[in-house]
Amino acid sequence: MEYIGIMNMPLKKISAHRHVGSGLLAAVLVLSACSSLPPQHRNATQAPATVATTVTAGSWDAVVAQLGQTATRLRANGMEAAPDIMTAVLDLGQIRVSSSNENAQITRVGIPNRMSGRWTEPSGDAEKDRQQRERNRANANGYFEGPIDLRLRFTEWAHAFAVVAPDSHGRVRRSLLFFNAEGREILRLTLANTAHEAAFDQLVMQFRSDDQSAPPLQPAGTAAGAATPAAAPTPDAAIDLAAYHAAWNQITDVHQFNRILRDFKLGREQALRLAPPGKTRELAPESLQALFDGAAARGLPIMVFVSNGAVTQIHGDPVHDVRRVGDWLEVEDPTSLLRVRIARVAHGWQIERGGIYSVDYYDADGQLVTSLFGVRSSAHPVPTEWIDLVKSLPGADDHAGRRLN
């Protein structure tokens, strides 16, 4: 079966047709029809789904221009309503989700998971249960693992819109678009089935804002994820390296790394450069291509994180189809599309924290482009194939690609 992307073209061909659509909103939103997913991923009431999309510069202007027509302003305002909107989306069945930063983008199709088990069962302690409900709401009660894997920082969500508009074939597409305070798109969701159209319309009615005018925006560079140079908070000479190295060597969970950055007031790439001996290695920019090619050759599942300060989306599948399209490296399968602007990658780092190996890539301004991890499981708690691949990547001073230890 051939999977269809933008304007009913095969996904293999979409890269040559990034700018399509007759109207401004259609061109930017790319709400186009496509063929069905395989039978195991759909039912008789599900409509075509697509993973094709574009980086979304200009979508704010396109959407606000359609307020009162095809676009409806919703209440979002950070923690006030955005978590409840995203919780309601869990009732919409199969969706297409796309998020990006300046240099990377993930688009995936699937049904997001809902929190269950110990996260939702009463404990018998009313206060403990109340606190757990608050934590669950802060995570929109779902979106962990599964085909749609998101980490949501709602304090950086400012504006939301629903768009109900026909595509180039006259079929109505229903989408939700979320923006930060600067008007930068942070997440878009498109309904990818017909069974839940009434539920989508009810969501729009429930969260419709009384004010349907275009909201004011903050100046550029003031919201989370703004593309501004990442200056090191503390000069190298002022850092207590012995204490910093001791803290690193005590890491038992990679999530402890962010606390160490805060404690020592370190920039992220600065922290990698000053890491304990043997814990990091600078990689050549072209190692990103080598990493994906190596994963594809091995059929190796990897986790790719793309964050814009408000949303982190995780692509966690085996790598198959890898191709270079102009400035972009694309990794595609029928239900997902990962794009990295490889021409903007300036630095890469191999990292080992608490026995976990990962790779970071940064642009010339020190902005994180993407982070990559191996996939661990109970059967394979230490993904040795991933570690071997990472250690084989060409170093910054080793463009011939020999292995560095």
Q: What is the CATH number of the domain that holds 173?
A: 3.40.1570.10
Same domain, 23 and 73: yes
Q: Give yes or no for residue 231 having a pLDDT over 70.
A: no
pLDDT digits (tens, 9 = 90+) for 33-78: 332 233 333 343 444 344 444 444 468 999 999 999 999 999 987 7
Same domain, 202 and 68: yes
The gap from C-alpha 108 to its chain's centroid, in whole angstroms, comes to 9
What is the number of alpha carbons within 13 Å of residue 257 lying toward its C-beta?
17
User: What pLDDT does 46 receive?
Assistant: 42
Any domain includes 187? yes
- How large is the average pLDDT for residues 237-247? 97
Q: How confident is the model at residue 133 (pLDDT cuts 50, 70, 90)?
A: confident
Are 165 and 50 within 8 A, CB to CB? no
Tell me phi and psi for residue 39, to 5 degrees. -55, -35
What b/e string do you get for 273-292 counting C-beta neighbours within 10 Å, with b at 16 or more?
A: ebbeeeebbbbbbebbbbbb
Q: Give yes or no for residue 80 having a pLDDT over 60.
A: yes
Q: How confident is the model at residue 376 (pLDDT cuts 50, 70, 90)?
A: confident
User: What pLDDT does 6 receive?
Assistant: 27
User: What pLDDT does 119 receive?
Assistant: 57
For CA atoms 220, 222, 225, 228, the dihedral sign is positive
Mean pLDDT of the chain: 82
Q: What is the DSSP string of 272-336?
A: HHTPPTTSEEEE-TTHHHHHHHHHHHHT-BEEEEEE-SSEEEEE-SB--EEEEETTEEEEEETTE
Q: Domain ends where: 189, 207, 225?
A: 207
**Range with the poorest average pLDDT among 103-107, 198-202, 372-376:** 372-376
For CA atoms 162, 166, 172, 173, the dihedral sign is negative
Any domain includes 338? yes
The 8-class DSSP code of residue 31 comes to: -
Q: Give yes or no for residue 298 having a pLDDT over 60.
A: yes
**Range with the poorest average pLDDT among 151-160, 303-312, 339-348, 376-385:** 376-385
Same domain, 273 and 384: yes
Length, in residues, of the chain: 405
Are 117 and 243 within 8 A, CB to CB? no
**Count of CB atoms situated within 10 Å of the CB of 124:** 7
Any domain includes 136? yes
Any domain includes 131? yes
Phi-psi region of 152 (alpha: psi -120 to 50; beta: other; left: phi over 0): beta
- How large is the average pLDDT for residues 349-355? 96
Same domain, 44 and 184: yes
- How large is the average pLDDT for residues 313-317? 92
User: What pLDDT does 227 receive?
Assistant: 46
